[in-house]
């Protein structure tokens, strides 16, 4: 893999991750861009201790542009985009409208393909492998920033989830604090005196909720799934984040990750809205109790029906799932690829 880093017109960093060592990419951004705005304000909720980022500048970000105005497509002729090359494999760049920036962290965009009409499920196994390398690279680099406490890699897919750009892409948030979900998990591990994820994974690997597996990874619907179709993909060996995966583990992760997105789309024969969230250890704490895993879940519960987070979930965090995890796992296994 060839890695090329350049500066965009407003000083943001862009990195090409090319599958061929002979790739030659454009390195000059010909746009005239305004300087970056002020970073978000961080405010702590006194009732929960949760940090809220107030990022009013994000109101100006682009919202569902037509395909011929997509800022994530390659630059062509006079149409100048965020990527100043006429093609690319995988590219990562600092978000133009970040939730966190400067002393409050960093936000990056990960483009999986230059094909605007593609989706993650359409990628080749080798391209997913390149994405994994890019996530490891960014996790390592962002973890070195003194203001960063946790690196979160994810993909939002579908208007039902709230995407603002259709181009196949994910994001990376380098948080200046440990996120509430991770903080709560670590607190429970410390109380129990064990690695709770490893304990759960051992039980799930022997159960009826397994969807697919290979030598290094297992995909399963968790016992207490919150969403109608929710999948975990976890390595058999405890690793804290993407940087600790071996080349062999990344090789075996790529086809399973791809397969899971294809199985979701095969459930009802429609493009499934989903969130693919990589849970990683904090940078400086709890790494011995953390376990890297992908949580992939959809809000679609049936053709034409969505699970909305209404009063109990949104207001009280009290979850109700209309589909049993065992039923969901069976349905996902039965999808013909």
Q: For residue 317, what is the domain's CATH number?
A: 3.30.428.10
Annotated catalytic residue 232: no
Tokens at residue 303, please?
């053709």
**Number of domains, the chain:** 2
Count of CA atoms in the C-beta half-sphere (13 A) of 195: 17
Burial of 256 (0-12, 13-18, 19+ CB in 10 A): buried
67, 201: one domain: no
Task: Look up the domain containing 292 and give its range.
Answer: 194-333
User: CA angle at residue 219 from 216 to 224, to 5 degrees?
Assistant: 135
**Residue 265 and residue 116 share a domain:** no
pLDDT digits (tens, 9 = 90+) for 159-202: 999 999 999 999 999 999 999 999 999 999 999 999 999 999 99
- Asked if the structure places residue 110 within a domain, the reply is yes
Query: Does the residue 117 lie in any domain?
Result: yes
User: 185 in a domain, yes or no?
Assistant: no
| Residue 98: pLDDT band with limits 50, 70, 90 | very high
- Please indicate, yes or no, whether residues 257 and 288 belong to a single structural domain of this protein: yes
Per the prediction, the chain carries an average pLDDT of 96
* Claim to verify: residue 261 and residue 167 sit in the same structural domain: no
Query: Is 141 domain-assigned?
Result: yes
Based on the domain organization, do 165 and 202 belong to the same domain? no
Instruction: Assess whether 244 and 284 both reside in one domain.
Output: yes
**Residue 252 pLDDT class (50, 70, 90 cuts):** very high
User: Are 205 and 172 part of one and the same domain?
Assistant: no
Domain membership flag for residue 114: yes
Look up the pTM and report it: 0.97
State the Cα–Cα distance between residues 134 and 193, nearest whole angstrom.
34
Q: Is residue 199 part of a domain?
A: yes
Same domain, 142 and 211: no
- In a 13 Å sphere around the CA of 98, the CA atoms on its Cβ side amount to 25
Beta strand segments in 216-332, E: 217-220, 229-235, 274-279, 293-298, 300-302, 305-306
Strand, helix or coil at 76?
A: strand
**Which residue intervals of 169-228 are DSSP H helices?**
180-192, 196-205
Selecting among 169, 216, 232, 242, the annotated active-site residue is 169
Q: Is 171 exposed, middle or buried (0-12, 13-18, 19+ CB in 10 A)?
A: middle
CB 263 within 8 A of CB 337: yes
The pLDDT tens digits of the residues spanning 213-239 come to: 999 999 999 999 999 999 999 999 999
């Amino acid at each position: 893999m060839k890695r090329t880093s350049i500066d965009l017109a407003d000083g943001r960093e862009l990195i090409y991750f090319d599958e061929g060592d002979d790739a030659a990419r454009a390195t000059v951004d010909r746009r005239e861009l305004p300087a970056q705005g002020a970073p978000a304000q961080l405010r702590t909720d006194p009732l929960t201790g949760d940090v809220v980022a107030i990022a009013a500048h994000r109101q100006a970000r682009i919202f569902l542009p037509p395909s011929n105005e997509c800022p994530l497509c390659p630059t062509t002729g006079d149409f100048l985009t965020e990527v100043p090359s006429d093609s690319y494999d995988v590219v990562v760049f600092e978000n133009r409208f970040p939730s966190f920036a400067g002393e409050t962290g960093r936000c990056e965009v990960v483009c999986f393909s230059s094909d605007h009409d593609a989706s993650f499920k359409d990628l080749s196994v080798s391209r997913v492998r390149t994405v994994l390398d890019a996530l490891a690279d960014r996790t390592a680099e962002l973890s070195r920033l003194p203001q960063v406490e946790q690196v979160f890699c994810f993909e939002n897919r579908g208007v039902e989830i709230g995407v603002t750009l259709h181009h196949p892409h994910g994001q990376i948030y380098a948080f200046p604090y440990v996120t509430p979900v991770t903080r709560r998990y670590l607190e429970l591990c410390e109380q129990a005196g064990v690695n709770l994820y490893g304990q759960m994974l051992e039980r799930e690997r022997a159960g009826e909720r397994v969807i697919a597996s290979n030598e290094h990874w297992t995909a399963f619907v968790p016992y207490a799934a919150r969403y109608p179709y929710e999948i975990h993909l976890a390595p058999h060996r405890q690793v804290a984040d993407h940087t600790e995966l071996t080349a062999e583990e990344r090789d075996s992760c790529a086809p399973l990750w791809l397969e899971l997105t294809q199985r979701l789309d095969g459930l009802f024969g429609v493009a499934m809205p989903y969130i693919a969230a990589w849970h990683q250890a904090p940078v400086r704490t709890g790494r011995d109790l953390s376990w890297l895993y992908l949580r992939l879940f959809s809000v679609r519960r049936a053709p034409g029906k969505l699970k909305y987070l209404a009063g109990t979930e949104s207001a009280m965090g009290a979850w109700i799932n209309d589909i049993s995890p065992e039923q969901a796992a069976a349905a996902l296994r039965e999808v013909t690829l």
